[in-house]
Structure 1
Amino acid sequence: MLFAFPVFQDDKNWLNSTLVDVLRAGMHAIDEGEAPVVWPDCLPDHLRPILRNRSGLRNRIADFWPAYQALDADQKLRLRQAIDDQTNLPDIFGLPRNCETIVGLPDPVVEAAGQLFDFAFKQLKTLKLDGECIRDIQYKAIYDQLQEKICPFCGLNHFRAPGAPRHALDHYLPASRYTFAGSDFRNLVPCCHECNSDFKMDQDLLFRDDGTRRQCSDPYMGPVYTVSLQGSRLFEGETVNRHRVPLWVIEFVGGPVAHAQTWDEVYKVKERFVRDILNVCFIPWVEDFARYYVQHFGKADEVDEVYHSLPDYIAGLGLDHLRERAFLKTEVLRLIYNSCNGGENAEAARIWLWEFVEYGVT
């Protein structure tokens, strides 16, 4: 991720943990040969006025008990482990140990748990505090604190302002496998439509398709990364609109390699950067610099004068950081500067850049 979201207030992230506590208490009662405490007495006193009339929650919890009671001892143990693991957020994102899913347990308990937490997730749109639904409170709290109103998973798409049609609230760990985190805001993150619907979809952040465990960034804590293009090679990539672009080498800097690998595997970040931005914008970004140079200095008398002005131009772009993809543009121009400043193709790079100033700007 390019940045982490501010953590949503714990005092407003209570629905998921409340339901989990109700399930744990009821399962313990069943295992002791007793009946679970009935609704709404099973709820904490301060939440009964808010939830007591939510018959959908009451009915779905009641449907869970016979499904749990029908499990054998090993299945009950596995279900309890799934609850413990899936509610161990954010620690589970980075731990190498297993995280039990609900997949493979008997259909009745999978269906009962899925319906309960799917219904709870939908309640986030209707449960209100001071007249505003919790889902909107969470989104506004995040949006207001973001310096750049863009998706941190790709850095390419903007978030809509509060009050506009909402972006999807993505289950970072998919609810089909990690059901017991289905309405926990620590597992629910704003995400642009492209990242959510075109790339991540229902992928598992914790396990690859072959079953191997992987680690991922906590969307609310990080780690976060900067993007480096400095291993790229000028003049060695493909031809785009009659110009040869660099052979792009993208590295993520600033955090564990394993987390960055998962980020790229799921969201196809490097592929999207190359296809949608770097190949398309490389020449226009060079032309932007050439116009800047001519406007400030006129035509260059010496070839080296042009590339020597790149650091000041790059420093100005760095002030924008993530805005308008400046994090990629600065890296592109830094690559050009480094190519001009040394290496076997340095002279060719300097002449190439000078020609944009001399012949490419009218």
Structure 2
Amino acid sequence: MLFNYPIAATANNWISTTLLNALQTALEALQQGNEPLVFLETIPEVYQEQFSRGKKFVELYNVLLDECRNLEEHQQHLILTALSGQNHFPGVYSMNETCPTIAETLPAVHKATRALFEYAFLKLSDLKTPGSNLTIRADYHEIVYSHLEKGCCPFCGLELLEAPDPDLVDPDLDHYLAVSKYPFAGANLLNLTAMGTTCNRSYKGASDILLDELNRKADCIDPYADEHVTISLNGTILLPSGGRGPTWRLTFNPDVKSRNWRRVFKIEQRFRVNILEKQYKTWLEQYAQYAHEHAFDISNKESAIDAVRKFKKTCAFETLPAIARLKGDFFELIETELNHPLEENRMHNFIAALKKI
């Protein structure tokens, strides 16, 4: 990810925490041979009115408990382990920690859990935190949007998200851990990320972000942690022989931890095809035009270098963050080669020829 989400956006996480606490208490009661309390008796008073507005909460909660009621104690333990493990943020992103699922071992319980938490997810758009004028989702959207770099999707840096406005459609709110596999995290704001439509529907889908291409647990980036990925074009061959275009090389830091993000969202291919290969000639034309307008004589090497230094600073003003980063690094490479004793003449000849474009 190019930048993170603000942890403050997850503050109103009471639907998820209340349901999880109620379920844990009920399952523990069943393990001890006791009958659980009825649903609304498990809800803190401050939230009872809001949960009462969700007409299906009681029904779906009871269906889930009915699926659990006659299970053996070790099976109920599996459910509790899944409930806890699927909400163990940020530990769930470590390759050293498991994230248990009951999709195959207890399919009926899994189905009932998914129905309850998918309903809870929908209620994020209807229910309000007591004292707030906004729904939970609207409040989340405002906090996230004000934090995101240029209002752009952090997963790709290529898609602008809709701004908070009652007349606009909210951006997709993706389940980072797929609800089809990890339903206990289905309404947890720590597992929800405002995401561009292309990233969500064309790439992420129901992919398991916790597993690599061989279905092994992998280290993953926590979208709410203060961590992000930097991108470099170091190793790119700008002027290969035969007059071909650049041979691109993208490197990412951290490498291992960002691999699943890059794989699931096809970051390298999208950046190479949609940005670098498509736009680098335009960038060079823009540089030549900038040099002309600012009276830089790029037929002179020192003047060409000075023009690159100045033009490079303008790259930060690109609307889309991914383009800004790659464009800036592209001209960083050009500047480096213009100053390299073995490459300077060839690169300068190339730059000087831009005057003729």
Q: TM-score, normalised by structure 2?
A: 0.93
How many angstroms apart in 2 are the aligned matches of 1:54 and 1:300?
67
Letter in 1 for 2:164: P
How many angstroms apart in 1 are the aligned matches of 2:341 and 2:182?
51
Q: Note if 1:305 corresponds to 2:307.
A: no
Q: CA deviation at 1:176?
A: 0.9
Indicate conservation of the 8 Å contact 1:95/1:215, yes or no.
yes
Q: CA deviation at 1:274?
A: 0.4
Judged with a 3 Å threshold, the aligned counterparts in structure 2 of structure 1 residues 125 and 321 are, in CA distance, closer, same or farther, namely closer
How many angstroms apart in 2 are the aligned matches of 1:5 and 1:193?
17
Q: TM-score, normalised by structure 1?
A: 0.91
Of 348-357 and 94-103, more deviation after overlay is shown by 94-103
Q: CA deviation at 1:87?
A: 1.2
Which residue of 2 is the match for residue 29 of structure 1?
Answer: 29
Which residue of 2 is the match for residue 50 of structure 1?
Answer: 50
Of 194-203 and 74-83, more deviation after overlay is shown by 74-83
Which residue of 1 is the match for residue 122 of structure 2?
Answer: 122
For 1:244-259, what aligned pairs fall within 5 Å after superposition? 244-253=244-253, 255=254, 257-259=255-257
Q: CA deviation at 1:71?
A: 2.8
Aligned-partner SS, 1:227: strand
Which residue of 1 is the match for residue 221 of structure 2?
Answer: 217
CA RMSD of aligned residues (A): 2.1
Q: CA deviation at 1:9?
A: 4.7
1:282-315 alpha-carbon deviations (Å, 9 max, x no partner) = 0000110101111112544524531343122213
Q: Note if 1:39 corresponds to 2:54.
A: no
Q: CA deviation at 1:83?
A: 1.0
Indicate conservation of the 8 Å contact 2:159/2:320, yes or no.
no
Aligned-partner SS, 2:237: coil
Q: CA deviation at 1:280?
A: 0.6
Letter in 2 for 1:285: W
Letter in 2 for 1:211: N
For 1:164-175, what aligned pairs fall within 5 Å after superposition? 164-175=168-179
How many angstroms apart in 1 are the aligned matches of 2:31 and 2:263?
42
Q: CA deviation at 1:189?
A: 0.5
Q: CA deviation at 1:11?
A: 4.4
Which residue of 2 is the match for residue 229 of structure 1?
Answer: 233
Gaps of 5+ in 2: none
1:165-188 alpha-carbon deviations (Å, 9 max, x no partner) = 111100001001111110011100
| From 131, 140, 143, the counterpart of 1:141 | 143
Indicate conservation of the 8 Å contact 1:8/1:185, yes or no.
no
Which residue of 2 is the match for residue 7 of structure 1?
Answer: 7
Indicate conservation of the 8 Å contact 1:126/1:134, yes or no.
yes
Which residue of 2 is the match for residue 104 of structure 1?
Answer: 104
How many angstroms apart in 2 are the aligned matches of 1:263 and 1:178?
18
Gaps of 5+ in 1: none
Q: CA deviation at 1:192?
A: 0.3
Indicate conservation of the 8 Å contact 1:4/1:220, yes or no.
yes
Q: CA deviation at 1:28?
A: 1.1
Judged with a 3 Å threshold, the aligned counterparts in structure 2 of structure 1 residues 190 and 11 are, in CA distance, closer, same or farther, namely closer
Which residue of 2 is the match for residue 180 of structure 1?
Answer: 184
Letter in 2 for 1:207: L
How many angstroms apart in 1 are the aligned matches of 2:256 and 2:289?
41
Of 271-280 and 120-129, more deviation after overlay is shown by 120-129
Which residue of 1 is the match for residue 155 of structure 2?
Answer: 153
Indicate conservation of the 8 Å contact 1:102/1:179, yes or no.
no
Aligned-partner SS, 2:8: coil
How many angstroms apart in 2 are the aligned matches of 1:268 and 1:344?
35
Judged with a 3 Å threshold, the aligned counterparts in structure 2 of structure 1 residues 159 and 71 are, in CA distance, closer, same or farther, namely same
Which residue of 2 is the match for residue 327 of structure 1?
Answer: 325
Indicate conservation of the 8 Å contact 2:10/2:190, yes or no.
no
How many angstroms apart in 2 are the aligned matches of 1:161 and 1:84?
34
1:310-342 alpha-carbon deviations (Å, 9 max, x no partner) = 122213434669548211110111122222222
For 1:40-79, what aligned pairs fall within 5 Å after superposition? 40-79=40-79
Letter in 1 for 2:148: L
Judged with a 3 Å threshold, the aligned counterparts in structure 2 of structure 1 residues 308 and 54 are, in CA distance, closer, same or farther, namely closer
Indicate conservation of the 8 Å contact 2:250/2:268, yes or no.
yes
Which residue of 1 is the match for residue 92 of structure 2?
Answer: 92
How many angstroms apart in 1 are the aligned matches of 2:91 and 2:107?
28
- Aligned pair count reads 353
How many angstroms apart in 2 are the aligned matches of 1:55 and 1:83?
23
Q: CA deviation at 1:32?
A: 1.4
Indicate conservation of the 8 Å contact 1:321/1:327, yes or no.
no
The percentage of aligned residue pairs carrying the same residue is 26
Letter in 1 for 2:159: N
Q: CA deviation at 1:202?
A: 0.7
Letter in 2 for 1:294: H
Indicate conservation of the 8 Å contact 2:298/2:351, yes or no.
no
Aligned-partner SS, 2:101: coil
- After TM superposition, where is structure 1 displaced by more than 6 Å over at least 4 residues in a row? none
| From 328, 337, 340, the counterpart of 1:339 | 337
Which residue of 2 is the match for residue 194 of structure 1?
Answer: 198
Judged with a 3 Å threshold, the aligned counterparts in structure 2 of structure 1 residues 301 and 95 are, in CA distance, closer, same or farther, namely closer
How many angstroms apart in 1 are the aligned matches of 2:216 and 2:39?
41
How many angstroms apart in 2 are the aligned matches of 1:323 and 1:138?
22
Judged with a 3 Å threshold, the aligned counterparts in structure 2 of structure 1 residues 27 and 157 are, in CA distance, closer, same or farther, namely same
